[in-house]
Structure 1
Amino acid sequence: MSSLPLSDLHPSSPAAAPHHGPSTEPRDAPRSGTESDGQPPVRAPQDLAAGLLITAFGLTALWLGRDWPTGTLASVQSGFFPRMIGLLMVLAGAVVTGRSLLSQGAALPSLGWRPLFGVTAAVLAFAGTVEFLGLVPAVLILVGLGNLAGRPLRPVPLALLGAALAAGCVALFVWGLGLPLRVWP
């Protein structure tokens, strides 16, 4: 068994493994899974983005409900549940964000402009037409514009989807909940 000279040991490596030949890695490159500043790399960028978004929603809920009285468990007031949901969202966001640093995950997908604009246009068209045209035409417009957001359906399945959603909305909101919505123009 031969002994290794001290010049072959890397003091920066955790196990001080022997060096066998020239290194192809630059001196300032990150080593062994950590960044050069000591921070762990983000292994799951999609989880990181989701965790930060959930945390932001939770913090927003806490900020919006900051002046509402919470009461006690025996006497719950109007701010109790929004505050609890906000705290749970912050906690869930922290867990998802922490998980993004510990386990491998998916990278961030590229932003799809077609779904973003298609869904936004569908929702805005529904909001702008439900008062004037009525619930059924507004739902049909929503379904038609929403169909443009992704891979379009053929006309027959699209018509069946629109009819089923319009009937479901009338049954739920007008008959079931008794909301004063105009059904037809």
Structure 2
Amino acid sequence: MPSLPLSDLRRATSVAAPTRGPSAASRSAPQGVPEGAPGGAAASGERAPTRIRVRAPQDLASGLLIAAFGLSALWMGRDWPTGTLASVQSGFFPRMIGTLMVLAGAVVAGRSLLVHGPALPSWNWRPLAGVTAAVLAFAGTVETLGLVPAVLILVALGNLAGQPLRPGPLALLGGVLAAGCVALFVWGLGLPLQVWPLQVWPLWVSP
């Protein structure tokens, strides 16, 4: 049997060898991306979106709560006249205090994005729900029922936020707070607040 030259033998072997799939270079290249081309965000020049990172969650929650109380004060005194610095009227102090609370809340909330602080503790929803319900009830009844009933409702709902008081101490606390609010806001600052419901007392208590 005549022997084939070495070159013919190599050629015959390469033709007879089966194709074993794509090369290693083609297997390593990602689908849909040409070999050697950079992929991902580097190819399009896009940057990953910047996320706002809260460094002090407790300060953020405190700032938002302070700002919410300030906005509530501004909303309650929206119809009261402010007057001037020479002649201060009933709406001056509520608006000033509400504005300062909103600014203070914004500063505290903004600080939480810059300075590291403690994280939020585990939530106890009963105090939060009780205080929120008490504040909303006071804001919704002070103009319709009067200052004294609104304060009593505030004390009753706020009592549910923590360790409940007995009826006797609770009634004493509500009476003292109601009398103090009348003395401070109506007699002291002269705010035009209705003290009792219109059916009981048609005018607010004048000093």
TM-score of the superposed pair, with normalisation by structure 1: 0.49
